[in-house]
């Protein structure tokens, strides 16, 4: 009877998959001259898309912010955040803005990384697009950037 019960549990649990815990670390850098009144949905949209991607795979995702005032974080630091928060992986999203000649904020680049809890980089990349805050096509460009990040995560 005991063997039959163990066999039943092993067979029954064989179809169950367990997801990973994903920490999404995100930050953005805005030139000081543009900080007052700066508004863009890019960073929040990226976090939401990445969150949904992992959630739909059956993973647990949560997020935290970090500052970029001392430059981009090292892989070691990001790995330590994984351990600090109890995550299996870290996805780092870093959005960098620049000032245009007419004083508006334009996307300089968006960096992303996927790291293990040991700080090993499994995936990294950088994207850029003609995105200016308040432009009529801002939401479409944000959507396209998000789709590109998700495509990279799928690879």
Q: Convert the pLDDT of each residue in 66-112 to its tens digit.
A: 888 888 899 999 999 988 999 999 999 999 999 999 888 999 999 99
Residues 17, 59: Cα–Cα separation, whole Å: 10
Give residue 18's pLDDT: 62
- More confident site: 155 or 29: 29
**What residues does 105 pair with on adjacent strands?**
99
CATH architecture of 19-154: 3-Layer(aba) Sandwich (3.40)
Residues 30, 148: Cα–Cα separation, whole Å: 22
Instruction: Kindly report the backbone phi and psi dihedral angles of residue 152, in degrees, each rounded to the nearest multiple of 5, phi listed first.
Output: -65, -40
Residues 134, 137: Cα–Cα separation, whole Å: 8
Residues 24, 33: Cα–Cα separation, whole Å: 28
Give residue 35's pLDDT: 81
* pLDDT at position 6 over 70: no
> Domains of the chain: which residue ranges?
19-154
pLDDT tens-digit readout, 9-38: 444 444 445 689 999 999 999 998 888 878
Q: What is the pTM of this model?
A: 0.83
In 3D space, the residue among 17, 127, 18, 28 whose CA is nearest the CA of residue 72 turns out to be: 28
Structure tokens at 9: 């549990």
Give residue 151's pLDDT: 95
Give residue 126's pLDDT: 96
Alpha carbon of residue 71 to chain centroid: 17
* pLDDT at position 4 over 50: no
């Amino acid at each position: 009877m005991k063997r039959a019960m163990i066999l039943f549990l092993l067979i029954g649990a064989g179809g169950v998959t367990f997801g990973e815990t994903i920490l999404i670390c995100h930050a953005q850098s805005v030139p000081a001259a543009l900080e007052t009144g700066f508004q863009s949905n890019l960073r929040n949209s990226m976090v939401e898309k990445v969150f949904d991607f992992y959630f739909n795979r059956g993973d647990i995702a949560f997020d935290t912010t970090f500052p970029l005032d001392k430059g981009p974080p090292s892989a070691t630091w990001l790995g330590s955040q994984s351990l600090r928060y109890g995550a299996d992986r870290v996805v780092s999203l870093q959005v960098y803005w620049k000032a245009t000649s007419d004083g508006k904020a334009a996307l300089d680049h968006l960096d992303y990384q996927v790291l293990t809890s040991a700080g090993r980089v499994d995936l990294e990349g950088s994207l850029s697009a003609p995105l200016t805050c308040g432009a009529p096509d801002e939401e479409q460009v944000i959507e396209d950037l998000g789709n590109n990040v998700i495509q990279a995560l799928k690879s």
